[in-house]
A and B are shown apart, each in its own frame.
Chain A
Amino acid sequence: MSRGAVALAAAAVAVGLSGCIASNVVATQDRMVTAAVAELAFAPAPGLRPEGLYESVEITGDAAVSLRKVYYLFLGDGTYTAAALVDDAHGGAFQILTGTWASGPEGLVLDGAEAVPLEQAPRHLRLSAPNGTVVLRQGELR
C-alpha cells in the first residue's frame, strides 16, 4: 500500500469522524457567566414571616454602587439585627442595625417605616426599595 493511499484513507476516516463528533464551541450568547439568582422565580409573599438568617446574593439599583453585602437576622419576637458592608473612603465598613420588623399585606415593614415589597422564592427573599433591590438567601445558624 502506497504512502498516498494511507494518507487518503486517513483523510477519509477523519472526514467520516468529523460527522460523528459534535462541535464543542461555546455559543456567543452563552459566554457570559449567569448568576443562579437569575433563574429564581419570585412571587409576592404578603404576610410572610421571614424568620431566620439571610445573606445577600444580589444587589441591584443605585444602592449597589456602595452596598457590597447585607446580612439580616429576623427573630420571632419581631426584632431584627442586620449588618451591611458599605464602601467608604477606606475601602469599606460594616454598618450594624437593630430594630423591629413586621410583615403585612404591603410587604415587609422595617422599624415602622413604609413597607417594602417582599417576594419569595425557594430559600430566597427579594426586597425592593426605591433605590435598589436586594436578593437574600437563607442561611443557617450552626
Chain B
Amino acid sequence: MTRTLLQWLGAAFVLGLLGAAGFALAVVKDRVRIVVQADAAPAGPEPLALLRDDVATLGQDLAQLRREQGANLQQLGEALEQRAAARHADVDALRREVAGLRQQLAVQAEGLQQVDRQLAGLAAMPVPAAAPAAGGHPPVTAPEPPAPPPVEPPVEPPVEPVVATAPAGEVAAAAKPKGFLSFTLPPSTFAFDREQRYVLVPDLCRVGFDAKSTLHDFSGVTSQVSGQFTADFDDPAGAWRGEVACAAATLVTGVDGRDTNLREHLDTTNHPQIRFVIEGFAPAAGGIDVARQTAKGEVSGKMTIRGVTRDLRLPIAIEVDASRRVVVNGQVPLKLSDYGVPVPSQLGLISMQDEVVVWLTLRARVQAGEAK
C-alpha cells in the first residue's frame, strides 16, 4: 500500500513539474529574445595609436626628404654659381676682345685716314708733262707720278684733324667714332662756324670792375656767374642771344667795409643780380677767323644794374681753348650814374670816380647734346 501510495505521489509530482514548466513557458515566451552573436574580435592596438605611428613615420620621411633635398639644392646652387662665374669670365673675355677689336678698328681708321691724306697729297701734286727720260720706266697713261716722292717719315696729324681746307672725304673720315682710352665717343669736333648753344662753366668765369678813387684804384670781382648764349661765330647776322648774370652781393674788393658800402650802393637786397642780355654781335673788320677759331667784335645788348636797364655795346674777343671751350674776354667803361648807382664819397674829398670799367672773362662749353 505504501508502495502504491509512493507511486501515485511520484506520478503526481511529475505531472506537477510538467504543469509548472508549461505555465512558466506560457508566461515568458514573449519576453525572451534569443540573439545569436559571433565570437568577439581578438583584442588589438588602438586605431589612434596606429594613426599616430603613421604620422610619426611620415614626419621622419619628410625630414629625411628635406635633408636630401637641402643637399641637392646646395649642389644645384653651387653648380649654378660655377656656371655663372664661368659665364662672367666668358663675358669679360669677350668684352676685352671687343675692346681690343675696337682699338684695332680705331688704329685701322687712323691708318686709312693717313692713306687718304697721302693720296690727297699725291693727287694735288702737279703732273709732269712727260715721263722722265731716265729711269727706265715706260711711259704710262694713268695720271700716276713718274716716281713716288721720297718717303717722308709719317707725320702725325694735328690735334684738330678737321681742317677748314681739308677735302670733304677727309672730314668725313675724321668724323668717324674713335676709341679714347678704351671708351667709345660719339663723332664730334668743335664747330666754330655753326649755331650752337653754350653754357657758362661757373667755376671758370669771372666778372668784375676796375674803379678809381681819390686814394687808390681797386677792383671788385665775383665768380658767381651764370648764363648761356646761342651763337654762330661765323654768322654775325645769325641768332646771337643769351644772358650773363652775376650775383651783385658777391662782388668783393678786398676791403670788408668797402664791400659793405658797395652792396648798399648797388642795393643788392632789392636788385640781387647784375644782368647783361645779349641781342646781337657786330664783328670787327676781319675780326672772324674760322680756321684759327677766333673772333673779335662788339656784343650788343641790355645791361641791368640796380634795376636800371641801358643799351650797351661790349667789345669782346673770342677764342677756343684746348678743352674745346669758348673763351670770351671783354670790357667796357660805363658810368655808375647812368644806372642810378650813387657814387661813393667820404666827406666830399675821398670819392670814387663815376666811370668804372666793367670786364668779364667767361668760359662756356657747348651744351650737352648739341655737339655733332
Contacts and interface: CB of A to CB of B under 8 A. Distances in A.
Nearest to A62: B189
A24 B371 contact: no
Contacts of B254: 24
Nearest to B156: A130
A24 B253 CA distance: 8
B159 A65 contact: no
Contacts of A65: 188-190, 324, 366, 371
Given A24-B218, A65-B188, 8 more contacts: A14-B215, A26-B208, A58-B323, A62-B159, A62-B189, A66-B186, A84-B183, A113-B182
Nearest to B174: A62
B184 A60 contact: no
A33 B205 contact: yes
Given A26-B219, A33-B204, A86 B95 contact: no
Given A7-B349, A33-B204, A17 B180 contact: no
B230 interface: no
A113 B103 contact: yes
Contacts of A87: 186, 188, 368-369, 371
A105 interface: no
23 contacts: A11-B349, A14-B214, A14-B349, A17-B215, A24-B216, A24-B217, A31-B359, A31-B361, A32-B361, A58-B323, A61-B159, A62-B160, A65-B189, A66-B371, A82-B181, A87-B186, A88-B368, A97-B183, A111-B100, A113-B104, A129-B181, A131-B159, A131-B178
A64 interface: yes
Interface string A62-103: 111111101000000000001010111111100101111000
Given A33-B204, A62-B159, A89-B369, A67 B183 contact: yes
Given A25-B219, A66-B186, A112 B322 contact: no
Interface residues of A, number: 54
A67 B184 CA distance: 10
Contacts of B327: 32
Nearest to B92: A98
A48 interface: no
Nearest to A35: B204
A89 B361 CA distance: 29
Contact of A62 (B95, B104, B190): B190
Given A24-B253, A100-B96, A110 B189 contact: no
A58 B206 CA distance: 19
Interface in B342-372: 347, 349-350, 359, 361, 363, 366, 368-369, 371
Given A14-B350, A95-B183, A134-B181, A111 B96 contact: yes
Interface residues of B, number: 57
Interface in B72-100: 92, 95-96, 99-100
A10 B349 contact: yes
A80 B124 CA distance: 46
Interface string B168-212: 000000000011111111101110000000000001111010100
A21 interface: yes
Contacts of A127: 181
Interface in B98-131: 99-100, 103-104, 107, 110
Given A67-B180, A113-B179, A31 B206 contact: yes
B161 interface: yes
Chain B CB count within 10 A is highest, among A10, A62, A88, A132, for A62
